[in-house]
Structure 1
Amino acid sequence: MKAKQKKEIFLSRLFLHLDGIAIIPTVLALENQKIISEFKNCSLSEISQQNNANEAYLNVALRLLCSQGILEQNISDDGEIYFNKKNNDNIQKRIDTYNLVAGVYEESIDYSILHKSHNITNTALFQITNNFIKKYQKTKERDIFYYHIEGAILSPIIVELALKGYFDNITNTITNFKQLHPLVRQLIENLFICTQILDHNKTITDYGKFILNRSTSYGVTVSYLPTFQNIKNLIFGNYKLLWTTSGDTEKHVDRGMNVWGSGGAHNTYFKKIDKIIIDVFNRPIQEQPQGFIDVGCGNGKFIEHVFNVICKKTQRGKQLNQYPLTIIGCDYNHKAIEITQKNLHKVNIKVKTIIGDISEPNLLAKKIQKKYQVNLEDLLNMRSFLDHNRIYYTPKNEITQKIKSSGAFCKKGQRITNNALQQNFKEHLEKWAPYLKKYGLLIVELHTMNPKEAANNIGKIAMTAYDASHGFSDQYILEYDVFLELASDVGLRPDPMHEYKLPSNELTIVSINRLVKK
């Protein structure tokens, strides 16, 4: 088999793993109410009323079933959403298979016990994993449902071990496993043999190397396990269970794990981002921005990367004594600002920091001018995977938008209609447009897609996983064409030299653009 074919097969399994983590608890929560096996074609509001469900999160869940080809979604011009059952003879097999790993979501499993030096045979983690191994260790024929439950079992274990460095510098064997308690080591080795990461001689397979070297790819989806374990509550119970007040530790996501997983993904996009940075800072000095601002700076690593690209690969980098860069890190979170300052101080990068909200550019511009005497429009504005995580505000203007997005959107348990979300995003960009006239906006963004298209491309993308983690946590990812159309409505367009669509032009899940004035 050629290397390219191998990679496609391995990547497909990884995507099925991610989808499985999210779709399994969704299907089980709905089937607990017999919504799937006894499904009758009707509207979202009817299904919600019949089952005393939260309409907002029920909508997210049913749309996920559409992305898996179980249902079909239709949205009328007046915004009513209808779901139709597709001919699906395998639905009971799917439910039965998923039930084998129900314990992953019913128990609050502590994966850190894998590092502890005591017997774990009485724990839920051991029993669920061991039952999975017993059932499948001799099975050769494996379907999509199998790979879904394999993902539910395997992914959190891979992430937990990767975070502790067990897969650092792996060659043909995983020598770091010697550090584990013998019973834990035996369990994981048996699991890895069952899932073809190791062969029967405990040598890492080609597939194993592929998966373990991409362990960060599991990080973001696994970080939302606290949300997935509460899908039943979100739809049928206390949907406020995961709410926190400002300053509290988030309940819906493991933020440290999320940042770790995101960091691995960001490395994929840096090559495209670098092209934009090099282009902008190679121009004649009078056409260059004074510097750049990263809104949502997090730990400051993106700022560090961009600074290094400018220093080492651009004309501006050769002129920093004469034309120093103004670098601003902005974040809504005080702790993020502190971490950014600390990290950049270590590498001798002078950064100005400011607390700011992506939804309030006018206020941010005033604060920057007052504190640093810098005009926001004189900077290259940058942000990555942030706009979809903005705070939703009810649109100020009349909603005249026709419904173009197929997405499912919520705020604090209340459904946001699709045309209202579109209008909100348009108004959001409208507030930013005056500050982007000179140098534009370097933006990396995540997108959804029509569930029918997602269902036709299962195994080529992990759309179900992304829609679940964002939909159940009140984040607002739009289709790429809708995103561009709303940007165009406020006078912004992609720089034609720098419009990047990943993984492909046909299936755009991530876009990298410099949005400029039309």
Structure 2
Amino acid sequence: MSGAAALDVEGEAMLTILNNYQHGFVAIPVVLACKQHGLFELCQQAGWIPFDVLARELRANSGHLQTALHMLASMQWLARDGDRYALTPKSALHRCIPEDITALFWFPIDDYLTGRNGPHSLQRWVELSGRRWDIKDPMLALFLDGPLMIPLLLALRKRFVAGDMDDRGAAVFAALNPVAREEILTLFAGKGWLDHADRPWALGGPALNDAGRFMIERSLITAAVASYRPMLTNIAEVIFGNCAAVFRRDAAGHESHLDRTLNVIGSGFQHERYFAQMEEIILELFNREPYEEQPRYVADMGCGDGTLLKKIYDIIQAKSRRGQVLDRYPIKLIGIDYNAKALEATAQTLHGYDYIVLRGDIGDPARALEDLRAQGIADPEKILHVRSFLDHDRPYQPPLDITAAEARAGIAYHGVYVDRQGTSLPPAAVVQSLVEHLKRWASVIGNHGLVLLEVHCVAPETVAKFIPQSESLHLDAYHRFSQQLLVEADHFIMAAAEAGLFPEWECFRKHPRRLPFTRITLNYFRKRDYTLRHPTAADVAALVAFEARCLPASEAASAEEIRQRVTQYPEGQCLLEVDGQLVAVAYSQRVPQQDGAAERDATMKARWAHCEDGAVAELLYALCPSPEHKTRGRELIEFMSHWLGLKDGVEVVIGISRCERYLDAANGAFPGMMATIRQYIQTYPISVQDDMLAAETALSTFGLRWLLRIFHDMGVMATPQQVYTFGALIRQLGIIPKYERLYAALLRRLERQQVLSITGERIAVLQGAATFALGDIAAERERFAADFTETYPAFQPFLDLMCRCLDQFPGIITGKVAANDVVFPNGSMDVFAGIFRGNHVADYFNHLVAELVVANIELIRQRAPEARVSILEVGAGTGGTTAAVLKRVQHLARSLSFYYTDISSSFTRYGEKAFSERFPWVRFARLNIEEDPVSQGFPSESVDIIYASNALHDTRSIDNTLSQVKRLLKPGGLLILNEFTAMKDVLLFTGGLLHGYWLFEDPELRLPDSCLLSAERWKEVLVTSGFQHVEVLGLPIQDTDHRQSVIVGARDGVMPECPESIPDVTDHGCKARIAEAVRDIIGQERMAALASDMPLMEAGLDSMELLELRMLLSKTFAVELEPTFLFQHNTLEKVCAFFQQGSQPLQHTHALGPNPPESHHETAPVAQGERYVPPRPQKSRADGEIAIIGVALRLPGGVHILDDFWTLLKHGNTTVGPLPEGRWLWPLDPAVAAEKSYLTQG
């Protein structure tokens, strides 16, 4: 592992320490202020105490006191019950905090480091930190480190930036005041941040190790919280005194509670990763064509110094298609800010760019638009608006619609809001104010929408579960104390929907990606012609009538049932309105994990079983009675599926397919699509003369005659009455094991021609053998080819392929010639490709597949016009069907994600060469459909349409294959199979020579002597595998006897069980879950570049992502992992090996659950029903020692234990030999270019 990689993995653990430092930097002064003003004493005396009593008795500013109480509740020092509070046992820890620790906020750190202005020392605090503050609670000890470590790390970072980090700090340490140097080295040594802590300075002195470097380099993470030092030093005045005085501005307008310069530096450092993700949206917008429909302007409200605008322009210029035509389609940048100095800075930043700046207020976008028109912007609808982390910091405007604000009283908002006088603002009023603010913006946003980054607050109960891993404890507190209006992510997105602004979900990002809370969202908002809102008690009567319009009386919910949902959980229910008229509704609830782990019956409404803190959000059902609004109903379901996942504590959303089926049942969508397809079939121009049967029969008969002559030339079957046994013939001809089944099938075909008589193992040559075989192969082949080509010109490729294979048949079946070298001569696919296109029948089926794909795309886009439809072809091979499909869908390319896949990368390379130039939007990837697609880089439930042409039959188990297909498909997704469904004897001379033909291990499902399935069998296995609406489509000239068929079915809503193991060298069940976890954190594009043996950091995982990955793995495998886990297991292979070997949970932990209560005893008491795991003794290890912790082996010849292996070695024996029949071949790709050799020994 590289040094940088090791640093970042260890940084995942260090990041939790930095989080705790920041928590303490804010929490410690707040706790001391509360203690000094009697909060703990009052609560101790009163037990449960109402908030208004607490505020009155303490003479506190209600808003700031509520912020402090939320922080204490998040630390689990207070319990909450509505507006009542009570101390918990953990609150006794407030007595362990030194009363004078706040002196560290005023400590002259720069003078201390340089030795200026008198002697300064941190010795007392260094010693306390080294002793972990003489307390047993490890988290509080880290909190207490915060006021000491944050100023020190930031000050040291300045010096390291100015100096040279290559010497690991030696020069910086040497330049420090000797007193400071010794104290800091003592402090760092105690924390394990130094190498050679005792090395004399003459020999180079101590040096920072990777952890120490990380802490100094990444200390800028703490700069934003450190910038609030002036406010925190006066926090007692903020909570209990004249708070307005703390927030005064000086004569120049500078804030007194904040170091704005440090804040800007720290915020910029923290937000860089989110700006990088904004780049993806920018490129998506500016890569679209035509260019005339792209934005003409980019406007940033709250532009600061213009850096974001400059960055966006540079991205467009350097990386987008628009950047190549800026001379013809220029872009003007618009910087808007209320601060005149910010506008001056923006003008300097954008010097040399096409830009304008103007003064504007985020609360008055209409005025900004008027000013833009005055500056010559006559087409403001062509502006792309961008904004980052500003909406929560806007000046509060009381809501104008008081009635709407009052109607929100029943909704559970967890935010705390404070006015300038320190008084608490009602959360309902703040959210209503946000809705009105966003409505003002919706009125000015044009065709190109608004890209918006925003930060959100988190409920105390959720913060308590993730204190070390999340910034929420300190970040929520200092934002609230400074009167900023943080809103929970789900309420923010709903406020936008109430204003008619909706995220483009393909562009949406949340952070953390997979943990059950949301700190940051990146949105691309677009306007729609409807709004959403939560219902109130006043809506119950209308909702009852709505049910009656949509459902039979036996299924409709009663007024009492609807009232129960609206009163108990209004924030989980959504109404969709157009011009104030209700057109769709969706209901949901939260249920515990064990009740909602699996999708319920997709055809039944779920019963009401709401649990306030349930980890599963369950969509009950959705209704939309009017066919003209079905698309909006679909969009409501899509919105709910994403939005419910933003709620604090929600880990999974279920019930989506049930909602979709309610709408489909009313609309008859799938049957309507199939009716259109049947009409297409009936009008397709094909006739009986185009049938292939006569051509196939002629080829098969000629091939059998040629085959018999080959056997004659090999010395068998030439003499009538000659008798053989099957085994003797195999040995005499030298047929290799992989072709024994093929040979048996061919003998049975000769028996049908009355050339052989077969009884059990006995094979007798009949009189007809002499006359049936070809005479002069070359002459008869020439005559047959001439006649056949004249009669069946479209089937020339079949003849060419059969002739090539029979020419080399003796060498192939004896293993002297590779079949791939014959079928793919010199790496060419042309011979093989010809049999799948170019004749009327093949073209008909290819076009039918294409028509089904287009019909389903149109059906999906009827539901959701902006949807991006994902299509995946399995076993694309030489692209016979691909060509028809791509030509048919090309006009929809901007709305598609299209994957051309095959098990062989040779075929994907062929496809890329054949199609990428004409269809640059197609992606090419290798996929083995017999294995879990998730472990191969394809997310589960991510594909709308999967089609395959004569591919799925070439697999070992049809049931397993269909389960993998189903895992890829979204609920309701379409599977289209184009399959030969009757035996074609000609295949035995051609495809039967290839590896895949004889892979099958489920002969009971296959046609005799074939890997093919009949049409009825396909229908049966699809239904059994959970596909619905299964239909078989054949030629219009055939009613039932389909020799080739297109079989189509829709996936149900039940996810297939992931098999615990899939036959291979690794446990793909485990690997798949790990890969899916990594993909959820870093996304599909970065995952595609991550090999299983590549260090995770080389895929770009930063410390925060590593932290999130560790937590997600902990949850996935129900085991608590140490902070250094990904340092020790830094690749997918190593992580997988850890879990395969059986991981051991850490002592007394709850994966992703609340932090367990701390005890003042050395050993925590064990709760009833828990098993106490004694701590393992720590042994010292000498450098260079290696411990063998386990050995396992299984080798051919029955070598399963160490003694057998040792005996094998002593006798000089080997276990290497020919691979057993049926074992995998390596490589999987056919060596069509002769650049690889096959492994035949193992």
TM-score by length of 2: 0.39
Question: Are the aligned partners of 1:290 and 1:326 in contact in 2 as well (CA < 8 Å)?
Answer: yes
1:146 equivalent in structure 2: 141
Q: CA offsets per residue over residues 109-130 of structure 1, 9 Å max, x none?
A: 3433245442643x4xx3xx32
CA distance in 1, matches of 2:159, 2:356: 33
SS in structure 2 opposite 1:401?
Answer: helix
CA distance in 2, matches of 1:490, 1:454: 29
Q: Cα RMSD over matched residues?
A: 2.3
1:280 and 2:280 correspond: no
1:161 equivalent in structure 2: 156
2:77 equivalent in structure 1: 70
The alpha carbon displacement at 1:414 in A equals 2.3
One of 425, 431, 434 as aligned partner of 2:443: 434
One of 267, 272, 275 as aligned partner of 1:262: 267
Distance 1:376 1:130, change over 3 A: farther
CA distance in 2, matches of 1:191, 1:405: 43
CA distance in 1, matches of 2:309, 2:10: 36
One of 32, 45, 56 as aligned partner of 1:49: 56
The alpha carbon displacement at 1:395 in A equals 0.6
2:1118 equivalent in structure 1: none
The letter of the residue matching 1:213 is E
Distance 1:36 1:328, change over 3 A: same
SS in structure 1 opposite 2:258?
Answer: coil
Question: Are the aligned partners of 1:332 and 1:356 in contact in 2 as well (CA < 8 Å)?
Answer: yes
1:101 and 2:101 correspond: yes
The alpha carbon displacement at 1:19 in A equals 0.6
One of 162, 165, 171 as aligned partner of 1:170: 165
1:312 equivalent in structure 2: 318
1:455 and 2:467 correspond: no
CA distance in 2, matches of 1:196, 1:440: 50
SS in structure 1 opposite 2:246?
Answer: coil
2:20 equivalent in structure 1: 16
CA distance in 2, matches of 1:297, 1:164: 30
2:123 equivalent in structure 1: 130
Question: Are the aligned partners of 1:120 and 1:183 in contact in 2 as well (CA < 8 Å)?
Answer: no
CA distance in 2, matches of 1:430, 1:98: 50
Question: Are the aligned partners of 1:24 and 1:98 in contact in 2 as well (CA < 8 Å)?
Answer: no
Q: CA offsets per residue over residues 325-346 of structure 1, 9 Å max, x none?
A: 110111111111111111222x
CA distance in 1, matches of 2:316, 2:112: 43
The alpha carbon displacement at 1:179 in A equals 3.3
The letter of the residue matching 1:101 is I
One of 363, 383, 389 as aligned partner of 1:385: 389
Question: Are the aligned partners of 1:167 and 1:213 in contact in 2 as well (CA < 8 Å)?
Answer: no
The alpha carbon displacement at 1:462 in A equals 1.6
1:198 equivalent in structure 2: 194
- The gaps in structure 1 that reach 5 residues or longer are 76-80
Give 1:411-430 correspondences, 5 Å limit.
411-412=419-420, 413-430=422-439
The letter of the residue matching 1:221 is V
Distance 1:132 1:352, change over 3 A: same
One of 240, 248, 268 as aligned partner of 1:236: 240
The alpha carbon displacement at 1:167 in A equals 7.0
1:502 equivalent in structure 2: 511
One of 55, 65, 87 as aligned partner of 1:58: 65
SS in structure 1 opposite 2:520?
Answer: strand
1:215 equivalent in structure 2: 219
CA distance in 2, matches of 1:50, 1:264: 42
Question: Are the aligned partners of 1:401 and 1:419 in contact in 2 as well (CA < 8 Å)?
Answer: yes
Distance 1:111 1:367, change over 3 A: farther
1:336 equivalent in structure 2: 342
The alpha carbon displacement at 1:145 in A equals 0.7
Identify the range of structure 1 (130-139 vs 382-391) with the bigger mean alpha-carbon deviation.
130-139
Q: CA offsets per residue over residues 205-252 of structure 1, 9 Å max, x none?
A: 232122222121011000001111111001112212223347422111
Q: CA offsets per residue over residues 386-415 of structure 1, 9 Å max, x none?
A: 000000011111212243321111110222
The alpha carbon displacement at 1:424 in A equals 0.7
CA distance in 2, matches of 1:276, 1:169: 37
Q: Structure with the greater relative contact order (CA < 8 A, sep ≥ 6): 1 or 2?
A: 1
2:1070 equivalent in structure 1: none
The alpha carbon displacement at 1:484 in A equals 0.9
Question: Are the aligned partners of 2:37 and 2:58 in contact in 1 as well (CA < 8 Å)?
Answer: yes
The alpha carbon displacement at 1:315 in A equals 1.0
Q: CA offsets per residue over residues 432-489 of structure 1, 9 Å max, x none?
A: 0022241111111111111100001110102111012101101011111111111111
1:91 and 2:91 correspond: yes
Distance 1:42 1:268, change over 3 A: same
Q: CA offsets per residue over residues 271-302 of structure 1, 9 Å max, x none?
A: 21110000111112122111201111111111
SS in structure 2 opposite 1:497?
Answer: coil
CA distance in 1, matches of 2:229, 2:375: 41
CA distance in 2, matches of 1:383, 1:374: 22
One of 31, 34, 48 as aligned partner of 1:27: 31
Give 1:364-379 correspondences, 5 Å limit.
364-379=368-383
Question: Are the aligned partners of 1:365 and 1:375 in contact in 2 as well (CA < 8 Å)?
Answer: no
SS in structure 1 opposite 2:505?
Answer: strand
The alpha carbon displacement at 1:100 in A equals 5.9
1:480 and 2:489 correspond: yes
Percent of counterpart pairs with the same letter? Answer: 28
Q: CA offsets per residue over residues 84-143 of structure 1, 9 Å max, x none?
A: 33x32x3333431353623225xx33433245442643x4xx3xx321212233559770
The letter of the residue matching 1:113 is D
Question: Are the aligned partners of 1:64 and 1:464 in contact in 2 as well (CA < 8 Å)?
Answer: yes
TM-score by length of 1: 0.91
Question: Are the aligned partners of 2:111 and 2:117 in contact in 1 as well (CA < 8 Å)?
Answer: no
Distance 1:475 1:376, change over 3 A: farther
Distance 1:97 1:495, change over 3 A: same
CA distance in 1, matches of 2:458, 2:359: 33
One of 363, 373, 377 as aligned partner of 1:359: 363
1:301 equivalent in structure 2: 307
The letter of the residue matching 2:62 is E
Question: Are the aligned partners of 1:94 and 1:145 in contact in 2 as well (CA < 8 Å)?
Answer: no
One of 253, 258, 268 as aligned partner of 1:253: 258
The alpha carbon displacement at 1:170 in A equals 1.8
- How many residue pairs end up in the alignment? 502
- The gaps in structure 2 that reach 5 residues or longer are 199-205, 529-1242
CA distance in 1, matches of 2:158, 2:259: 13
The letter of the residue matching 1:18 is Q
Name the larger-Rg structure.
2
Distance 1:379 1:168, change over 3 A: farther
One of 181, 184, 209 as aligned partner of 1:185: 181
One of 79, 99, 111 as aligned partner of 2:109: 111
The letter of the residue matching 1:152 is P
SS in structure 2 opposite 1:289?
Answer: coil
The letter of the residue matching 1:131 is R
SS in structure 2 opposite 1:329?
Answer: strand
Distance 1:281 1:257, change over 3 A: same
Question: Are the aligned partners of 1:28 and 1:95 in contact in 2 as well (CA < 8 Å)?
Answer: no
The letter of the residue matching 2:65 is L
CA distance in 2, matches of 1:379, 1:418: 33
The letter of the residue matching 1:91 is S
